[in-house]
Amino acid sequence: MAWMIGRTAAMADPEGARRKALDKLRGLALLDDPESVVVPILLDAILMAESYRGARHQVTFLAELTASVDAMLRELDLTEKASAWAAE
């Protein structure tokens, strides 16, 4: 995923990283069923936050959240490429 922000960039410029992520998320409107991509991420984020609250251990649902985010980014990349090809 060429747009990936990366930990160093996110830590150095959190606002810039948020803007970059928000620009990417604007493509959700172009997906056939954006809710089917976003809702699992929200659920995983809620579960992760609850599992991590007050704990000093590995985040329990981080793998699931990462997989959900990666799936959403793949869908957005495909949509962007399809739009670019259609514009040619």
Residues 6+ apart with CB under 8 A from 9: 16, 17
Q: Which long-range contacts (CB under 8 A, 24 or more apart) does 12-20 make?
A: none
Residue 75 has pLDDT above 70, yes or no: yes
With 0-12 CB in 10 A as exposed, 13-18 as middle and 19+ as buried, what is 65?
buried
Boundaries of every domain in the chain: 32-88
Q: What is the DSSP letter of 30?
A: G
Q: Model confidence over 26-45: pLDDT tens digits?
A: 989 988 999 998 999 888 88
The percent of residues in the chain predicted with pLDDT above 90, rounded, is: 14
Residues 39 and 77 sit within 8 Å (Cβ to Cβ): no
